[in-house]
Structure formats: C-alpha cells, structure tokens
Structure 1
Amino acid sequence: MRILAKVALGGTALAAIAGVALAFAAPARADSAAAKNDLVLSLGLLKDGNFNAARSYAQKAIAADPKWGLAHAVLARTFLALGDGVGAESELGRAATNGFDMARGHQMLADAWLIQGDAKRAMAEADKADPRFGGYATRVTAKALALQGKSPDAIALLGELLSVDPSNSYAWSDLARIRYNAGDIAGASANAQRAVALDHANLQALTLRGELVREQFGLAAALPWFEAALQRDAYFHPALIEYAATLGDLGRYTDMLAATRRALAARPGSPQALYLQAVLAARAQNYDLARSLMQRTGGAIDDLPGALLLGGTLDYQAGAYEQAIGKWRELVGRQPLNMTARRLLGAALLRSGDAKGALDVLRPVALRGDADSYTLALVGRAFEATGERDWAAKYLDRAAWPAADGVTPFGTDDGLAVLANAANNDPGNPVAAVDMIRGLIDAGQSGGALDRAQALAAANPGAPAAHLLVGDTLMTMGRFGDAADAYRRAADIKFDEATMLRTVDALDYAGRRPEANNVLALFLGQHPENVAALRLAAHWQIAARDWDGAIGTLEDLRSRVGSRDAGLLAELTYANIGAGNDDDALDYGAAAYEIAPMSPAATDAYGWAFYAAGDADKAKDLLEKAALLAPRAPGIRWHLAQAYADLGRNAEARAQIALALGGASFTDRAPAQALLKTLG
C-alpha cells in the first residue's frame, strides 16, 4: 500500500497546517498586514484547540484579502477540525483557485470526503498525499477502512503509523475511537489516555475520554472531561452534545438545555441538539413540541437507536401504531438485548392484534428469572389472545408477584444443535459464540459453557460483554463469589446498569451484602437518576428498617416514574408503616390495591397498613386474600398470623407461623417464635 511508505515522513495531527505555514513567509497574494496577523492568530488558536475562534480569524483574514489561497486552505483546516466536510471541500476549491498548491492539500481533501461519508474517494485521495503529510493521510485511510467495516485493518494501519510516530496524539485518538466502536473499551481507554497526555489541546481525545469515563465510572465522573474540552473551545459541537446528554441523564435538565442551545449556536440546525431537546420535551410530556423538534432534524438522525426509540414513542402517543411498530422493530433488530425496545414493541404488537408477534418479541425477556411484571402481564394477555389459557394463567400469576431471581441472560428458544452449527460455521462471529454459550447454559452444560466463555474473555480482554458472560455462567453453577469477580472485571471496563445489577446480585448471593451495598452506592453516586438502582436501594433500605431513608428514595422514584406503579406504592406503604406514618401508609396501600387488586404484594401491603392502624379485622380479610394469591410467601403468612392473634384466633395464628417458619427466606424468625410461645 503506497500510503505506508509515507508514514515515516509525516504524521502529526497538524502536519497539513505546518506544511501550509511553510509558504506563509512569502504568500503569492497577501497585501494586507491585517490578513497576515489574523492568519497567524488562526494557526495559533488551531494548535491550542480553539477551533471555532481559529475559524473566525481565518475568515477575517479572507475578508481582508479574499484572493489569498493560503487563508482559504487554513480556513478549510478549521472546518475539518470542526467536522464540516462540505465547508472544508468548498474552501479547498477556493484555495486552489487562488493559487494554493493542492499538492499540499490532498490529505485535507481526503479528510473532507471522509467526513461526508465517502470512504472510497477519501482513500483514493489520501493515496495522493505528499510524503510530508503521510501521517495525516494514513489516519484518513485508517478511518475510511473502519467506516467500511474493516476495523482490524484500520487498527493494524494505525499501529504501523504509531510505531514510527509514537507522539502522534491524533493517531492515538483515532485508534481509540475505532477500538471503542469495535467494543474494545479497555483498549480504547488506554489509547485515549495516551492521546490526551501527548496533547491536552486534542479536543477529540478529551471528548472521547469523557465518553469512555462515562462508560467505565459513571455520568458524574465524565463531566470534567467534556468541560476540559469546552474550556478550550466553548462551542466545540461534539463535546457539547455529549455534555448535554450526560447532564440530562444526571437530571440536570436546565444545564442540559443550555448546552443544547450552545450546540445549536455552534452548528445551526444540529440534528443531535434538536433530538436532545425533543427528549427533554417528551420527558415533560410536551409531545407536540417533541414531534416538532424531531421534524426539524430533517431525518438526519432517524436511523440512530435513540431517535428510533423516541420516534416510535411519539408515533405511538399520536395513535400511529404501525409507524411506531416499524421503528421499534428496526431497533430490536439492531439491538436484540434492548429490553425497553422489546417491551414497547411487544405492547404495540399486542394492541394492533398481533398476539403471536408480541409473544415472539417478548419471550426472551419473559424467560428471564427477573422478568418485570409489566412484561409478564403483556405475555399473559398475549397468550389469552391466542387462546392458550394455561400459559396465560402462568404468566399472569408471575406478573402478580414477579420472582426476584436476580439478573439473568436472555433465554433462547433455539436448540443447542442449531446454535452450535451457527457458531461452527462462523467462528469469528462473537454474536454466534455468545448465543452458543447461552445455549449451553440453558441446556445445563455449564462446564462447557464456562470453558467457551473464558476462552472468549481471554481473546477479548477489553470487551466487558465477554466478562459478563463468564459471570453469567458461574452464576448458573452456584459459584457466586467467582461470578462477582468476573462481573467486577467487566465493571472495571464498563460500569453500566446491567453490570452493576449483576455484580450486586452475585455479591449478595455470596453473602457479601456490605460489598454489594458499596457497589450500589458507588453506582448511585454516578447515576443518581437510575430507576433500577433506586428501586434496589429502597428495597434494601426497607430490609434494613431504614424507614425514613426508604421513604426518601421511594418518593424520589415516584416523582420520576409516576403514581401508577403498584409495586412502588406497596413499598411506600411498608416504609410508612415502619416509620409510624399510618395515615400515609393507608393512602399508599389503597392506591396500590386499586391499581393491582390481584397483586399479592399490593394486597398484603394494604392489609398490613390496616393492621398497623389498629384494624385487625379489615387487615385479616386482605391478608387472607394475599395468602391465597401467594401461598409460599412467608412474610404474608407472618402478617396474617399476627392479625389472627390479635383477633384471638390462636390456632389459625399458630398454623400461619408454622408456614412462615418453613420458608427459607423468612427473616423474622425470632419475633415469630416469641409470638408462637405466647399462643400456647
């Protein structure tokens, strides 16, 4: 490849500008001293990472001397730094028209075409670059290869460049971005750190470092990196978009809106900024505004996952169910593990009358031991619609009181032979390998699954999904401590919700609740808006009898998810009972029971609220119903026993206590045994 011969002769990120500046001392056309001064300032600002200011001064130089080709070339370079390929191409054309030697501009024109998405044309143009600018040209070629799906070739090419030019900060950040997109988060993080260390003005590296820190350590930890980029250039669009999205996830909506407005000032009509504003509008239930903002994007980001999710939601809210189904089906096809998209698609299909389609979409989620009640209820209703009453009853029963079996992988309906055949026919396909391992787990062949999972993790040490798979396998084998270690290796690379829940679950099963609490607290410190983490924290606060803490957490949750979540209202009932707030407990218990009268949790909570308020008779009726709905729940038996005891029905109370004590998960053994003694 001809471009490889150029690597040793060039390579810094601003090599093109350095070459351009060689002609600065004697420009063909530069009659204005002001133009010269402005161009010097532009070059300095470009080097310092203030790209928008550099563009402004280059434009001033052109205004002072419109026929100066070099000024047009420098302006083109600022456009490239800002990600404007069209603007850069136009300015390079003007530069050539006004005397700039395009033998020094092939690498810049290649970059402009690459930004516009024309990888093949970019590679052809990069191959024409002068050897002085070989490093820049090689970077363009590597990114073009990655854009064509040839990431290994791109990584190898950048590796060759860095072997002869190890101080090339932009090559390191390009390598980091390609590895990040390929799922090698650990490798990407190391490369991004190297890029920033070499050049603190590399805004691409600073922004990427923020994205990676957000993956590894959380939302709050990422903010300083985006802020560091914005301190260099307050209107650097990529950093503003990532900054705004992170602020939104942290619940800092006013700051998020301000960041999106700056992004729109930097790049008028920015589809990404308009999308984020649409998300804000949708969260505020201003769906008309959200739709208007999405329409203003002109369809530029319609195929992105977030836009598909939001677009489908807006279509569904407007009654355009088929359009919503189309968007969500596309999203599930791209992201089969996206449970939110599956739930939405399943609900829409069921509403449209396609019960079988809903079952196909929801089954992988419903097969999980920790499936949520909403999904289970959807599956139950879908089975009802297909006339399969027995299956409907099974899932509706689970929906009434979903089992908390921990975080588990998706179930699979494909046979092991089918999965093995797919993996063997495409040994380089990680998706097929993962499916095969999950198939072995489902088939009870944990040993074989573990061997394959560990081999996959060894081959992909920077990919968190590989370590999660090892942990999942160890969990099925009952090796909870080892599973926690595997999950922690994944968390060191990417500390997201799924990894946190798995780690906490494994530590809890291993009897290491304090460590599990620390992991949860660390995650909440970085993701204070995360609903799953808040639910878990509240549940544990109730278990620890931290009633006031639980009430605070649950009220925070209620402000986010609304007041139609029966499980949340039931937990608020229990927490208020513990805190002695009997009136509030009755109100929450009544609300939970009204929403889900067949839920044993809601029924028990409401009955227990009556008991706490001194009405054992009303409590008994509800608690008896709860016991019928969930006959193997020892906590309900214990509540019913106390109501019977207060009503003088001692024999029945003793029977209920015996049933409660027979439950392995029953935690109130001492008070139950003490009451049993008093009953004779």
Structure 2
Amino acid sequence: MLERSPSAFSVRTEPVEAPALPETRTRGRRRRRSGRARRWGVFLAACGAALLCVLLFAFAVTRPARIDPASARVELGESLGLFKLGNISAARLHAQAAVKADPDWGLAHAVLARVFLALGDGVAAEGELGRARAVGFDGDRAHQLYAHAWLLQGDPKRALAEAGKAQPRYADYAARVAARALAAQGDLPGAQRMLAAVLATTPGDSAAWSDLGRVRYTSGDLAGAIDAATRAIALDRNNIEALTLRGELVRGQYGLVAALPWFEEALRRDAYFHPALIEYAGTLGDVGRYGDMLLATRKALAAQPGSPQAYYLQAVLAARAGNFDLARTLMDRTAGKVTGMPGALLLGGTLSYQAGAYEQAIEQFRQLVGRQPMNITARRLLSAALLRSGDAKGALDMLRPVALRGDADSYTLTLVARAFERTGERDWSGRFLDRAAWPSREGSSPFGTDDSLPILTAAANEEPDDPVRRVSYLRGLIDSGNAGDALVQAHALARDNPGAPAAHLAVGDTLMVLGRYGDAATAYARAADIHFDEPTMLRAVDALDHAGRRPDAANVLAVFLSQNPQNVAGLRLAAHWQIAAGEWDTAIETLEGLRQRIGNRDAALLAELAYAYVGADDTETGLVYAKAAYALAPMNPATTDAYGWALYQSGRNGGAVQLLEKAVSIAPGHAVLRWHLGQVYADLGRKAEAAAEIKAALGDSSFQDRDAAQAVLKTLGS
C-alpha cells in the first residue's frame, strides 16, 4: 500500500508496519522527542502562515489608497451642492469621500472643515484645517474658519482676534463670527451693531440675518428675533439654522404644536441636523409624544455620538416615567456638559433631592435661582431642600418674594408655615397655614417685596437694564402708594424694550394693581403676541375675567391648550371652568388625566374631582374623592365643602351640614360655600338660616348661580 508523505494536512488511513528497533530507553526518549518536535514544527509553521496573512492584510489596509483626483472633484461638487441645499450631514459624507479620494488636495480638507463648522464641531474642523495647510492650502484663506472653530471650542477671545485677520473677500463671514464671539462674551449690543453693519452692505445675507435673530433672541428682543429669522428664511429657504431658530421662536410665540412643522421643515432638508433634532425632541416631549421624542433623541445620538443634550432629554423621559436610577445613569453620560442648562439644573437637583442628597440638590437649585430669580418652581424646590437640610431661615429667605405674592400657591405657603414652625415662630406659621387653606387666590402679580423703596430705587439705578430689579422697583412704588409713578415707569420700560414681552407684562401687572383690568388685558395681549407662555396666559385670562369678559378669557385659554395640551396650570383652570359650566364629563376627563400625572396627594385636584363626579350623578365615586381630599387638608374650606357637598348629594344631611358649616366658618366670604350651606338648610327645613346664607351668596357680584339661588329664595318665601 502506498504511503503519502507526512504533512500537516495528511493522515494515514491504515496502519503501516514499522521496522523492528532495539528496545532501549535512550532510543525511546529520542523517538518521543522527535514526535514532539515534529508537532511543534507544524504549529509554528501554521502560526507563521497566519502572521504573514495578517501582515499582508495590514499592508493592504494601511498603504496609501490610489489617488483619484477626478473622483475627488465629483465628490466635492456633490458636497458643495448639498451644503447649499441645507443637507449638511450628507455634504459631510461627500466631503469626506473627496478627501479620501485625494488626501493631498487642500481645498477638499478646507471644505470638509467648513462642513464640520456648520455641524458645530469645532475640534474636527480645526483638525481638517491643519491637514489642509499641511498639503499646501493657503493659510490666509482660513483665518475666518479658524476663528469659527475656536469660537465653537469656547474661546471667543481667540476667535475675535483671528477673525480680524481675514482677507477682505471673507469679511462678511469673519464679521459674523466676530459678532457671535462678542455675544458669547456678553456684549450683545456690540454683536448687534456688527451684524447690522454687515447687513447694511449685504442685505441679502441670509446667514447674517439668522445670526442677528439668535443674538436678539439671547438679548430678550423676541420681536426683533422673529423679524430677523423671518427675513433669513425668506432669503434662503434652505437655511436650516434659521428654520430651527424660527421653530424655537414660534414655540414661545404661538405654542408647542405650532413649532413642530418648523423643526420638521429643517429635518426634511437634513434629517440628521443635530440642533434641530434636539429642539424637536424636547418639543415632542412637552406635547406628550414621548415615543417620538425617544426616536428623535436616538437619531441625535446617531448624528452626534455621545450627544449630551440627547442623553439629557432621555434622562427627562426616564424621570417622567419614574425610573430615577436610569435618569441618573443617563445624566452621568452627559459628563457635565449640560450643567449650564436651566432644565438640566432643575432635573439634576430633583434627582438629588429624590435620592436624599439635599446638599447636592441645594447647590444645583441655588445655581438655577441665581440665573432665573423669577423662577417660582426653582425657589420652591430650593426652599424645600433647605428645609430638609435644617436651614429653615434660608428657606424663608428664598420663599419670601413668592409668599408675598397675592397668588402664592398653597404648597409655597405651607412650606413657609413649616419653616416658621422650625424657627419657633408659631404665630406666623398659623397665619401662613390659614392662607394656604384659603379656597381662592388673587390673580397673577409680580414678586412682592419687603425692601424699602430707597433700596429698590438704588438697585434699579445701579443696573437699569436688569429687568428683575426694575420690576421690583415698580412693585416697591406700588406698595408705597405711588401707583401713578409705577405706571409711568412701566410704560417707559415698554417703550425702551418694545420687543421684550417682560416689559409689556410689567405694564399689565401695574394696571391690574390699579384695577384697570381691560387696559391690563390689552397690555398682556401685546406680550402674548411676542411670547405666549404660561405666565402670560394666566395673566391675560385673569385680566379678562376680572373685566367681565369670560368668553374672551375662555378663548385665550382654549388657544393656549390647543398648543400646549400637557400644561398643568392650563388644564387645572379649564377643569375649574368646566365644572362651573356644568360640563361634568369633560371635567372628569380633564381631571383624571391630571391625576394620572400628578398623583393622589393634591387635595385641590381631588376636591375638584369630587364636585365633577357628584355633578355627573356618580355620588359614590365623588364621595371617595371628597373623603380623600378632606383627609389631606381638613382645614381647607374647599376640601371641607367638597366632602360636605358629596355627603349631601348622597342623602347624608347630618354629616353634610356639619362640614358645610365648618367650611363657611373658615371662609365666610366665599359665596359658593354659603350657597351650598343654604341649600342644605332649606332641605332640613331651617328656612331662616337658609335664606340668610343664600342672600349672603347673592351679595357677591361674582356669584354665578344667581337664577337658581333666586328660585330657592322664592320657595322659602323670602
């Protein structure tokens, strides 16, 4: 039988007889070593072959690709065309292909750098500019590009200096970069002057108009920002920066829903434009479209891996779903790059508070209040954290401007009361608990103040452009009895800042204090034309309602909710009016939706649900809600009345009359409470007492159920 030569890939299939060998130990050891050596040799040969393959593959991969100038020109032309159409992400891919096809072409590197700048990546842009210069690109043509790259990297001073070196043919671009650098340094007037100079010579520069819009937006001139963004889009419909800015402005001017088409328009041009994706995702979340929000954040992460803004928005989603551990993990992934955002400070502080890390929460909430002194939610949260940490005095100092407002909410007033308890001032604690229990509040107003007028005047004169100080000064004038002077100052503020909604709000607030509700509504309408947010809506509705224009007020609320369907304050007000109008089923739907989001610890919400269910003839469900509301706030006249009314409607008059009498004793000036008590007295045959209560209700000009009350009075012979 033939025997094949031994190799690493051949195996004998049949045994072959070997020649006899002497049986010696030495020869046996040699034979065994020879077998091992043969096996090691086979193994090393295989390793050598594999290593050779790896080396050949590495050489094939790392050796310079064949330069293809023709392909590079085609790819660069595609990139420039897409860039002009606003598809920056696709332009980047083609510019990268051009660089790959001809890595020695400096212009291709420079164009890729310009694309990276449009995408907001200053580090990548600077890297490409360095490669462009290394292969011969004229550095004098790149000063404005370097300036832009350094600005994006957070060095406006260096950017400003570099922009000044740009050649005359790039002067407009350099001036735009310089203006943005000035704005980054806080010189907003200087930035606007520089952009105005560019537009004076080149009025058709869409990019300059969008830059001006952004600077005006930052400075608070929202009307001017709207005008600039509108002009930018009219000049170049593919200006996706302007489209994104217009979406942000529309979101404030008209509402969330109206803003979505603008972001979608930008994303139709570039589906991976990161700024538009972030704004789109945030707006979708506020509208309540959480699934679409998540998809948009994932797309943003695909466009910009590691995007801190996308991780922050995902953390917001997780927190809304109650998954606080996931929210913390996602916030950690932002690597601290969103800490300057007010929303991130609010979320971070809330997560720290929820975890019991009160000192961390205090630090973040304090930063937020420092940046937004008028942010009532931030002040409440900071005060709660201070109170938990044992700093009752600090909590009082933080809440004072809010608690002095006529429309201070019950939670704020309760916090103040608890803080006074901690400091041992129980008389003051009782006063604020009484206010917290009151069933209705005054309309929106500016912050109250307990500083003297000279102090407020000095503060306003020291920084006349500070709106917070000027508003405090106006309030000080009103509190000191100088309402006329306050109105003059408010009108001056509006004249100086016609595009700033806060100035028109100041006029409206002053007119409300003076009791000129119709004029106040007009001032609020001017503010709403520029920025229609929750505080503006609440002020406008309050003014119109006080002016006796409830249908107009209801229309304002309806328009606001059509654009901001998840707004809690708007939904609360809508439900209250639905109950007043007897629209029980609609009120139940609104309130149950709120309860799912807010939870079961809001006494006022539960009391409103009780009224709605009782009105819809579901007294047993109404009684459950009324009892729960009363258990949470037994000294609140609204919850007490709701419980008594539910008992009355279920035929339990004995318990009902006790609760309704208690409610009236707490708030004797509230017409609805007296009307309810009057009806129970009438059913119990206590005619004189019933007539007295009903007449007291009718004595309030704002009382709505006048026809029904008059009819009951007639049956009582009064």
Report SS of the residue matched to 1:94: helix
2:379 matched to 1:379? no
What residue is the counterpart of 2:534 in the other structure? 497
What does 1:479-490 correspond to in 2, within 5 Å? 479-490=516-527
2:500 matched to 1:463? yes
Structure 1 stretch displaced more, 101-110 or 669-678: 669-678
The AA in structure 2 aligned to 1:519 is: V
Between the aligned partners of 1:511 and 1:444, the Cα distance in structure 2 is 26
Give the drift of 1:439: 1.3
Report SS of the residue matched to 1:99: coil
Report SS of the residue matched to 2:635: coil
What residue is the counterpart of 2:616 in the other structure? 579
2:556 matched to 1:519? yes
2:675 matched to 1:638? yes
Aligned partner of 2:204 among 163, 167, 170 = 167
What residue is the counterpart of 1:281 in the other structure? 318
Report SS of the residue matched to 2:259: helix
Give the drift of 1:247: 0.4
CA contact (8 A) 2:671 2:698 kept: yes
CA contact (8 A) 1:373 1:402 kept: no
Between the aligned partners of 2:688 and 2:425, the Cα distance in structure 1 is 41
Between the aligned partners of 2:634 and 2:476, the Cα distance in structure 1 is 38
Aligned partner of 1:369 among 406, 414, 429 = 406
Deviations 1:394-445 (A, max 9, x none): 1101111253211111101211011112223444444433322121122221
What residue is the counterpart of 2:20 in the other structure? none
2:450 matched to 1:408? no
CA contact (8 A) 1:371 1:402 kept: no
What residue is the counterpart of 2:433 in the other structure? 396
What does 1:339-378 correspond to in 2, within 5 Å? 339-378=376-415
Structure 1 stretch displaced more, 34-43 or 433-442: 433-442
What residue is the counterpart of 1:234 in the other structure? 271
Between the aligned partners of 1:633 and 1:53, the Cα distance in structure 2 is 65
CA contact (8 A) 2:346 2:365 kept: yes
Give the drift of 1:508: 0.9
Deviations 1:329-384 (A, max 9, x none): 11111111101111111111112211111111111111111111111111111112
Give the drift of 1:541: 1.1
Q: Which has the greater radius of gyration? A: 2
CA contact (8 A) 1:206 1:225 kept: yes
The AA in structure 2 aligned to 1:454 is: H
What residue is the counterpart of 2:706 in the other structure? 669
Report SS of the residue matched to 1:461: coil
What residue is the counterpart of 2:261 in the other structure? 224
Between the aligned partners of 2:370 and 2:307, the Cα distance in structure 1 is 27
Aligned partner of 2:173 among 136, 160, 183 = 136
Give the drift of 1:655: 3.5
CA contact (8 A) 1:657 1:676 kept: yes
The 3 A distance-change label for structure 1 pair 429 and 282 is closer
The AA in structure 2 aligned to 1:570 is: A
What residue is the counterpart of 2:243 in the other structure? 206
Aligned partner of 2:328 among 291, 297, 301 = 291
Report SS of the residue matched to 2:644: helix
Between the aligned partners of 1:644 and 1:457, the Cα distance in structure 2 is 54
Deviations 1:46-96 (A, max 9, x none): 111111111111111122222221111111011001000000000000010
The AA in structure 2 aligned to 1:477 is: L
What residue is the counterpart of 1:562 in the other structure? 599
Instruction: Give the aligned length.
Output: 652
- Higher RCO (CA-CA < 8 Å; seq separation 6+): 1
What does 1:6-405 correspond to in 2, within 5 Å? 31-405=68-442
CA contact (8 A) 2:374 2:468 kept: no
Between the aligned partners of 2:136 and 2:685, the Cα distance in structure 1 is 103
Between the aligned partners of 1:320 and 1:595, the Cα distance in structure 2 is 27
Between the aligned partners of 2:332 and 2:439, the Cα distance in structure 1 is 40
Aligned partner of 2:575 among 526, 534, 538 = 538
2:572 matched to 1:553? no
Give the drift of 1:454: 0.5
Deviations 1:303-354 (A, max 9, x none): 3211111001100111101110111111111111101111111111112211
Report SS of the residue matched to 2:532: coil
Give the drift of 1:650: 3.1
Structure 1 stretch displaced more, 129-138 or 615-624: 615-624
CA contact (8 A) 2:209 2:228 kept: yes
CA contact (8 A) 1:369 1:403 kept: no
Between the aligned partners of 2:184 and 2:167, the Cα distance in structure 1 is 23
The AA in structure 1 aligned to 2:174 is: A
Between the aligned partners of 1:474 and 1:661, the Cα distance in structure 2 is 28
Give the drift of 1:555: 1.4
The 3 A distance-change label for structure 1 pair 592 and 430 is closer
Between the aligned partners of 1:35 and 1:111, the Cα distance in structure 2 is 25
What does 1:580-659 correspond to in 2, within 5 Å? 580-659=617-696
Deviations 1:132-188 (A, max 9, x none): 111101101111111111111111111111011000000000000001000000001
Q: Could you list the runs of 5+ residues in structure 2 that have no partner in the other structure? A: 1-65
Give the drift of 1:600: 1.2
What residue is the counterpart of 2:43 in the other structure? none
CA contact (8 A) 2:67 2:103 kept: no
CA contact (8 A) 1:114 1:122 kept: yes
Deviations 1:639-658 (A, max 9, x none): 22222222233343333334
CA contact (8 A) 1:162 1:171 kept: yes
CA contact (8 A) 2:188 2:219 kept: yes
Between the aligned partners of 1:395 and 1:428, the Cα distance in structure 2 is 34
Deviations 1:500-523 (A, max 9, x none): 111111111111111111111110
Deviations 1:587-614 (A, max 9, x none): 1111211222221111110110111112
Structure 1 stretch displaced more, 162-171 or 423-432: 423-432
Identity percentage over the alignment? Answer: 68
The AA in structure 2 aligned to 1:188 is: A
2:461 matched to 1:453? no
Q: Normalization by structure 2: what TM-score?
A: 0.89
Between the aligned partners of 1:618 and 1:314, the Cα distance in structure 2 is 43
Between the aligned partners of 2:212 and 2:698, the Cα distance in structure 1 is 60
Give the drift of 1:207: 0.3
Between the aligned partners of 1:429 and 1:330, the Cα distance in structure 2 is 18
Between the aligned partners of 1:162 and 1:676, the Cα distance in structure 2 is 73
What residue is the counterpart of 1:12 in the other structure? none
Q: Normalization by structure 1: what TM-score?
A: 0.94
Between the aligned partners of 1:164 and 1:248, the Cα distance in structure 2 is 42
The 3 A distance-change label for structure 1 pair 402 and 602 is closer
Between the aligned partners of 2:668 and 2:540, the Cα distance in structure 1 is 31
The AA in structure 2 aligned to 1:344 is: L
Report SS of the residue matched to 1:528: coil
CA contact (8 A) 1:328 1:341 kept: yes
CA contact (8 A) 1:567 1:592 kept: yes
Q: Could you list the runs of 5+ residues in structure 1 that have no partner in the other structure? A: 1-28
The AA in structure 1 aligned to 2:546 is: Y
CA contact (8 A) 1:30 1:68 kept: no
